Amino acid sequence: MSWFTKAISSSLGKKFVMASTGLFLIIFLLGHVSGNLLLFKDDGGQAYNFYAEFMTTSPIVQVLRILTAASFILHIIYSILLTRINRKARPVEYKVTKPGANTEWPARNMGILGTIIFVFLVIHLRTFLYEMKFGDVAYVDYGDLGRVKDLYTLVASTFSIWWYSILYIVMMVFLAFHLWHGFKSAFQTLGMKHRKYTPAIEKAGYAFAIIVPAVFAAMPIFFLIKSLG
Amino acid sequence: MNLTLDIWRQKNTDTKGAFKTYAISNISEDMSFLEMLDVLNEQLVEKGEDPVHFDHDCREGICGSCNLFINGRAHGPNIKTAACQLHMRSFSDGDNITIEPWRASAFPVIKDLVVNRGAFDRIIQAGGYVSVNTGGVPDANEIPISKVKADQAFDSATCIACGACVAACKNASAMLFVSAKVSQLALLPQGQVERKTRVERMVAQMDAEGFGACTNTGACSIECPVGISQDNIARMNREYYSAKAKSDNLE
Ligand code: HEM
Ligand code: FES
Residue A192 lies inside a defined structural domain of this protein: yes
Mean pLDDT throughout A129-157? 93
Does position B196 have pLDDT exceeding 90, yes or no? Answer: yes
Q: Residue B122, SS3?
A: helix
Structure confidence at residue B216 (pLDDT): 98
- B170–chain A Cβ distance below 8 A for any pair: yes
Mean pLDDT throughout B79-106? 97
- CATH code at position A24: 1.20.1300.10
Cα–Cα distance for residue pair A125/A120, rounded to 1 Å: 9
Mean pLDDT throughout A10-16? 98
| Phi, psi for A135 (deg, rounded to 5) | -80, -175
Residue A14 lies inside a defined structural domain of this protein: yes
Q: What percent of chain A has pLDDT over 90?
A: 96
Q: Which of A15, A95, A190 sits opposite B213 (nearest CB)?
A: A15
| Phi, psi for B7 (deg, rounded to 5) | -120, 140
Tens-digit pLDDT profile for residues B112-162: 999 999 999 999 999 999 997 777 888 888 889 999 999 999 999 999 999
CB contact under 8 A, B213 and A92: no
Answer yes or no: are the C-beta atoms of B7 and B19 closer than 8 Å: yes
Q: Which of A11, A185, A188 sits opposite B213 (nearest CB)?
A: A11
Residue A80 lies inside a defined structural domain of this protein: yes
Domains of chain B: 3-110 (3.10.20.30), 117-245 (1.10.1060.10)
- A181–chain B Cβ distance below 8 A for any pair: yes
Mean pLDDT throughout A85-110? 97
Structure confidence at residue A204 (pLDDT): 98
CB contact under 8 A, B104 and A193: no
End-to-end CA distance of chain B: 58
Tens-digit pLDDT profile for residues B92-102: 999 999 999 99
- Model ipTM over 0.85: yes
Index of the ligand 2 atom closest to the CA of residue B55: 1
Cα–Cα distance for residue pair A144/B127, rounded to 1 Å: 71
Answer yes or no: are the C-beta atoms of B39 and B24 closer than 8 Å: yes
Structure confidence at residue B91 (pLDDT): 97
CB contact under 8 A, A189 and B216: yes
Rounded to 5°, the CA angle B106-B110-B111 comes to 140
Mean pLDDT throughout A33-55? 96
Structure confidence at residue B203 (pLDDT): 98
Ligand 1: does its nearest atom lie under 6 Å from the Cβ of A82?
yes
- A192–chain B Cβ distance below 8 A for any pair: yes
Q: What is the DSSP letter of B97?
A: E
Mean pLDDT throughout A45-64? 95
CB contact under 8 A, B217 and A16: no
Q: How far is residue A47 CA from its own chain's centroid?
A: 23
Taking CA atoms, B26 is separated from B3, B31, B33, B70, in Å, by 9, 11, 14, 20
Residue A187 lies inside a defined structural domain of this protein: yes
Structure confidence at residue A127 (pLDDT): 94
CB contact under 8 A, A102 and B237: no
Structure confidence at residue B20 (pLDDT): 98
Domain extent, residue A145, equals 8-92+107-228
End-to-end CA distance of chain A: 63
Residue A97 lies inside a defined structural domain of this protein: no
- B183–chain A Cβ distance below 8 A for any pair: no
Categorize the per-residue pLDDT at A86 as very low, low, confident or very high, splitting at 50, 70 and 90. Answer: very high
| Amino acid of residue B206 | M
Q: If you take atom 31 of ligand 1, which residue's CA is the nearest one? A: A114
| Phi, psi for A165 (deg, rounded to 5) | -65, -45
- B9–chain A Cβ distance below 8 A for any pair: no
B208 Cα to the center of ligand 2, angstroms: 27
Does position A229 have pLDDT exceeding 80, yes or no? Answer: no
Cα–Cα distance for residue pair B162/B194, rounded to 1 Å: 25
Q: Which of A16, A88, A95 sits opposite B19 (nearest CB)?
A: A95
Does position A8 have pLDDT exceeding 90, yes or no? Answer: yes
Of B73, B112, B64, nearest in space to B91 by CA = B73
Nearest CA of chain A to the CA of B204: how many Å?
Answer: 7
Structure confidence at residue A185 (pLDDT): 98
CB contact under 8 A, A103 and B207: no
- A58–chain B Cβ distance below 8 A for any pair: no
Answer yes or no: are the C-beta atoms of B60 and B114 closer than 8 Å: no
Structure confidence at residue B132 (pLDDT): 79
Ligand 1: does its nearest atom lie under 6 Å from the Cβ of A49?
no
CB contact under 8 A, A190 and B223: no
Residue A1 lies inside a defined structural domain of this protein: no
B173 Cα to the center of ligand 1, angstroms: 18
Tens-digit pLDDT profile for residues B7-34: 999 999 999 999 999 999 999 999 999 9
Cα–Cα distance for residue pair A224/B207, rounded to 1 Å: 51
Cα–Cα distance for residue pair A141/B79, rounded to 1 Å: 68
Q: What is the DSSP letter of A127?
A: I
Cα–Cα distance for residue pair A76/A78, rounded to 1 Å: 5
Categorize the per-residue pLDDT at B68 as very low, low, confident or very high, splitting at 50, 70 and 90. Answer: very high
Count up the domains in chain A and report the number.
1
Residue A116 lies inside a defined structural domain of this protein: yes
Q: Where are the beta strands (DSSP E) in A16-55?
A: none
Cα–Cα distance for residue pair A38/A45, rounded to 1 Å: 8
Residue A167 lies inside a defined structural domain of this protein: yes
A121 Cα to the center of ligand 1, angstroms: 13
Cα–Cα distance for residue pair B114/B55, rounded to 1 Å: 6
Nearest CA of chain B to the CA of A162: how many Å?
Answer: 36
Categorize the per-residue pLDDT at A68 as very low, low, confident or very high, splitting at 50, 70 and 90. Answer: very high
Structure confidence at residue A220 (pLDDT): 97
Mean pLDDT across chain A, nearest whole number?
96
Q: If you take atom 39 of ligand 1, which residue's CA is the nearest one? A: B215
Q: Quickly count: other Cβ atoms within 10 Å of residue B144's Cβ.
A: 6
Cα–Cα distance for residue pair A74/B245, rounded to 1 Å: 21
Index of the ligand 1 atom closest to the CA of residue A15: 16
CB contact under 8 A, A95 and B244: no
Does position A211 have pLDDT exceeding 80, yes or no? Answer: yes
Nearest ligand for residue A108 CA: 1
